[in-house]
Every structure is written in structure tokens, then in C-alpha cells.
Amino acid sequence: MMPQPHQVKPFQITAGRALLGWSISDLSSVSGVSVASIRRAEAAIDESPLKPTDTLKLLYAMGASGVVFTRDLSRIGVALDLRKR
């Protein structure tokens, strides 16, 4: 299940991109979100400054390539589903 945009932490975007071996430019090309916006999001400390629609674009782009964003009461994480690779 895809998390809501407000639930995604900036480090998860960076980690998801790293799991795929993508540069910021790669993620921008696949998602349609500008390089500057992705840089701002990844530089944020706690909350992403992106519009929810841009966050969703990032989540869907990485999710289609196998990145899974997780969150429960005590854990926040990012994993790579190798079946989608």
C-alpha cells in the first residue's frame, strides 16, 4: 500500500532513489518532478516541502521500479522488491 504524501519523510525519497541507483536527474526524468524540487525535498529535515501531487509522482515513479515505502507505529523504512526489477 502506498503511503500518503504527508507520511513520507525526506530521507525515504533519498533512500528509495539510492536503492535504484538513480541520480536526482534520473528520478526527475521518470517522475516529471523538477530537479530543484527533488533537491529541496531531499534537503528537508522532517517534512517535505513538495506539493502532495509532486510527492505522489515521486512515490509512483520509484514504486513502479520496485521501491516499497513502509511505515507503522514504530518504524519507517524503504525496501526494494526484487520481483519488480
For 27-64, the pLDDT digits (tens) are: 999 999 999 999 999 999 888 899 999 999 999 999 99
pLDDT recorded at residue 31: 98
Task: Give the CA distances from residue 59 to residues 10, 15, 31, 84, in Å, rounded to whole numbers and listed in that order.
Answer: 12, 12, 9, 15
How far is 34 from 2, CA to CA, in rounded Å? 22
- The pTM assigned to this predicted structure is 0.89
pLDDT band at 1 (very low <50, low <70, confident <90, very high): low
The domains located in the chain, with CATH, are 5-84 (1.10.260.40)
Task: Give the CA distances from residue 4 to residues 9, 19, 38, 75, in Å, rounded to whole numbers and listed in that order.
Answer: 11, 21, 17, 15
Q: Which amino acid is at 77?
A: G
Helix (H) or strand (E) holding 40: helix 35-43
